[in-house]
């Protein structure tokens, strides 16, 4: 009889522990927070405009290099061998510089995107910490790691509202 009382007491405590833990676990959709917040949208728009503008410039420069190549091929018979080689080497150098410029731009955009994401996550951390302490939340999980859950424990929209109030812009340049 004594073991039965101890067993029922232990089961009762585990039952309450599981219930309290279930009420203190929530999830958020991090991609939605990063992409749909005011600061996130602004950063995406800024980067898109920058990519479009630079892409136009690079396409124009690439077309000019192609025209120079076509002109050089057309002039091949009229130029001396030395002049042709010299002009060809200059064109190759221009092409190498152009390729470096494209790679550098792609790297710069990737770096800027990573910096923007990092800034947004740094701004989000104190918001989540404050929300957790004020609302007695034990754990917040990213939605992509949740297989199935009740939509009542989704904090995405609440946190998105707080993030939009506290962080208006990332000030990317």
Sequential pLDDT tens for the chain (173 residues): 565 556 555 555 555 555 444 457 888 999 999 899 999 999 999 999 999 999 999 999 999 999 998 988 888 888 888 888 898 899 999 999 999 999 999 999 999 999 999 999 999 999 999 998 888 888 988 889 888 888 888 899 999 999 889 888 887 77
Choose among 113, 119, 117, 122: nearest CA to 48.
Answer: 113
Q: What is the CATH number of domain 2-166?
A: 3.30.910.20
Contact in structure between 155 and 30 (CB atoms under 8 Å): no
CA distance 78 to 151: 75
Q: What is the pTM of this model?
A: 0.72
At 170 the pLDDT is 80
């Amino acid at each position: 009889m004594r073991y039965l009382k101890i067993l029922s007491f232990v089961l009762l405590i585990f039952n309450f522990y599981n219930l309290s833990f279930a009420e203190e676990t929530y999830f958020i959709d991090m991609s939605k927070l990063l992409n749909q917040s005011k600061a996130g949208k602004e950063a995406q728009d800024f980067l898109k405009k920058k990519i479009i503008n630079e892409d136009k410039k690079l396409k124009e420069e690439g077309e000019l290099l192609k025209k120079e190549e076509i002109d050089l091929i057309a002039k091949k018979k009229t130029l001396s061998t030395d002049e042709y080689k010299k002009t060809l080497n200059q064109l190759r150098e221009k092409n190498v510089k152009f390729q470096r410029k494209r790679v550098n731009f792609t790297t710069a955009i990737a770096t800027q995107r990573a910096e923007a994401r990092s800034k947004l996550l740094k701004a989000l951390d104190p918001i989540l910490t404050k929300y957790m302490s004020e609302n007695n939340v034990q754990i917040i999980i990213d939605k992509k790691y949740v297989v199935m859950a009740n939509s009542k424990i989704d904090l995405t929209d609440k946190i998105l509202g707080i993030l939009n109030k506290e962080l208006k812009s990332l000030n990317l340049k």
